[in-house]
Amino acid sequence: MEENEKNKKCRLIIIILSATNILTLLLLGFFLFNYFQTDKKLVVTEERLYSSDSTRMELDTLLKQTAFELDQFKGRNSELDQFLREKNDSLQEFAERIEALLRQGKLTREQLQKVQDEIDMLRYYKRKYIGQIDSLNTVIVSLNNENDNLKTDITKQKRKNEDLTMDNVRLSTKVAIGAKLNAQSLFVTGIKFRSNGKEKETIRTSQIEQIKVSFTLSENYVSEKGNKEIYLKIVGPDGATIYNQLAGSGTFIYQNEESLYSSKKTIEFNQTAQNVAIYWNSGSQLIAGKYKADLYCEGFKIGQTEFELK
């Protein structure tokens, strides 16, 4: 009897030890599985992060190049310097936004793509602004030359024709150079207004609240001083004039025919070069594509340009 009791106890001990060993092996397998799974996740996470060092170098190079190109135009004219400051501030906003993204260190593919998109947008506006600045500089030089030539011609005419009245001088000058106004350095952009009322330029149709058309009226001593009505015609990608009567659109006469205009502005023309900006609200979201902006005054087309919205 005692022998049977001993055998039962031995079998019970063997069963408990076997169960304990099996449980130990299962726990060990569970921990090993979790360890390798966690390590695998860390590897996957590491593989999804990308270094932003090369992108930062790309941004630094672009900013240095932009600063160098802008410096070439500084100090030539007070009006040009003011224009430079405005455009430089706009470019700096792009740079600060990109810097904020890059300060995160390593980025995911989506974050890195967003940074690249911002850099591409910075390049776009840099090329556009440099072109505008160069055009404005050319206009300023041209206006100065025209002014010098005009003054020289008038002085010579006065010396040769002392018996002529000033009206005759103006008439002869009008025949020579014409009284038609000339709009140069046209620049069209979408405008979004910040909460503080300041303007932010954008070409994205989803953000545009108004269209802003900026240009410079050339100096013209022949054209009469006083109020001038300038008509803005914006032609959409479909070739039709964009028209919204509630926003001030209407009709005007051009080449003896009635024509639609998108917006108009009355200015006080003083015969010297002056900057003008016309704002227009379409009343609805614009579509992406290429647009044309034409300007008219006193029966003449005085300027035109093309622009693209995305």
Question: What is the per-residue pLDDT for 40?
Answer: 47
Domain boundaries of the chain, sorted by first residue = 44-177, 181-309
Radius of gyration of the chain (CA): 36
Question: d(Cα 63, Cα 49) in Å, to the nearest integer?
Answer: 25
CB 52 within 8 A of CB 112: yes
Q: Do residues 122 and 94 touch, judged by C-beta distance below 8 A? A: yes
Phi/psi for 168 (5° steps) reads -65, -35
Q: Give the C-alpha separation, 218 to 274, whole Å.
A: 7
Cα 240–Cα 243–Cα 246 angle in degrees, nearest 5: 170
Average pLDDT over residues 255-270: 89
pTM surpassing 0.85? no
- Residue pair 184/303 in contact (Cβ under 8 Å)? The answer is yes
Measured in whole angstroms, the distance separating CA 83 from the mean position of its chain's CA atoms is: 15
Q: Give the whole-angstrom CA distance, residue 59 versus residue 89.
A: 16
Fold of 181-309: Immunoglobulin-like (2.60.40)
pLDDT, tens digit, for every residue of 131-144? 777 777 777 777 77
pLDDT at site 43: 42
| 299: confidence class by pLDDT, cuts 50, 70, 90 | confident
